[in-house]
Chains A and B, each alone.
Chain A
Amino acid sequence: MADIERKWPTIAESMELVRQGILDERHLRVRPSPEERALLRAEAAALRAELEARKAAAAKTAAKKKRPA
C-alpha cells in the first residue's frame, strides 16, 4: 500500500475509528483512484471470506449441539 496515495480509509481503519467514537469523513470529498479501489476490493474480499468462514463454523457448532447424543 506504500506506493499508492490513499484517500480513503481501509475497512479496518474505519472500524477502529467507529470503536473510538470518531467520524473521519475526509474521503467523502473524493473518489479513490482505480489502484486504491483495487486495494479496498482486496480487503473487502478477504474480510468477506473470513466472515463467511466464521458463519459456517458457527452453523456447524450449532448443528452439532442440536444432534441427539
Chain B
Amino acid sequence: MAQSDEAPRPELLALLRAHGLSAAVAARVASVGAILHHRSLETGAEVGTTLDLATGRPIGPTLIGERDSVNFASQFAAFRPGRRYLQLHTHPGSSSFSAPDVGMLLNYPALRTLAVVGEDEHWYLLSKRAGPPTVSALEGVLRWYELWEGLATANAELITHGRLSEEAARVQEIHETMLRLAAELRLRYDDVGLLG
C-alpha cells in the first residue's frame, strides 16, 4: 500500500501512541487512514483494512465495500495465533463507533484496537485494555443500544422544540454513547477532529 504524502497530525499520532502503538506503527496507521479516507471519497464506498499491531503492515489488500458497508471476513480468516491487530475503516456520516463496531472488537480476541476515519477526517479510536474482556460481544452491543436509547430520548425532546438539529443529535448521541460505554466496559476511547 502506498504511503500518504500528507504529514500526519501530531495530535492524532499522540493519541495513537496513547492507545499503545509504537511511534512507527502510529505513523503507519495515520498514513494508511489518510489513504483510506481518499479512497472512500473517490469510490463513494466504505473502505477498510486490518494492520498487524507489531509491524503496522496491512494483513491483506484494502477492502472496498459498498456505500455504507465493508466485509472483513477474509482478513479475520488471515489472523495468526499470537498476533494482535488494529482494524481501520471509514465511516458514513462521520460518526463515532456503531454497535456492530463494538461487537466486532469484543467478538475477536486478537482485535485490540478499532480506528475509524469519518468523511470529515474526524478520527475515533477504541482499544481494549489489558486483562480479560469485561463482557461478551452481545452484551456490548446490547449496552450500546440501551445507552443510545436514553440519550436519543433526551435529544428527541430538544429536536421537537427546535433546540437541536437531527444532524447534530445524530453525531452527538453516538459519541456520548461511546464515552459512557467505554467507561463501563473498561475500553479506551478517544476522538480527534481536524481542529484537534
Contact = CB atoms under 8 A, between A and B. Distances in A.
User: Which residue among A18, A29, A34, A37 has the maximum number of chain B CB atoms within 10 Å of its CB?
Assistant: A18
Interface string B53-97: 000000000000101111111111000000000000101110100
B104 interface: yes
Contact of B69 (A22, A30, A51): A22
Contact of B149 (A19, A30, A44): A44
Contacts of B139: 51
Contacts, number: 98
A5 B49 CA distance: 32
- Which secondary structure dominates where chain A touches chain B? helix
Contacts of B69: 22-26
Contacts of B166: 31
A31 B169 contact: yes
A48 B135 CA distance: 13
A27 B98 contact: yes
B103 A14 contact: yes
Contacts of B185: none
Interface residues of B, number: 39
Question: Chain B at the A interface: mostly helix, strand, loop or mixed?
Answer: helix
Interface residues of A, number: 27
B179 interface: no
A29 B139 CA distance: 24
Contacts of B145: 11, 40, 44
A23 B92 CA distance: 11
Given A27-B98, A28-B92, 16 more contacts: A11-B142, A11-B145, A15-B103, A15-B137, A15-B138, A18-B107, A21-B71, A21-B73, A22-B69, A22-B70, A23-B71, A24-B69, A24-B100, A25-B101, A28-B174, A29-B170
Interface of A: 9, 11, 14-15, 17-31, 34, 37, 40-41, 44, 47-48, 51
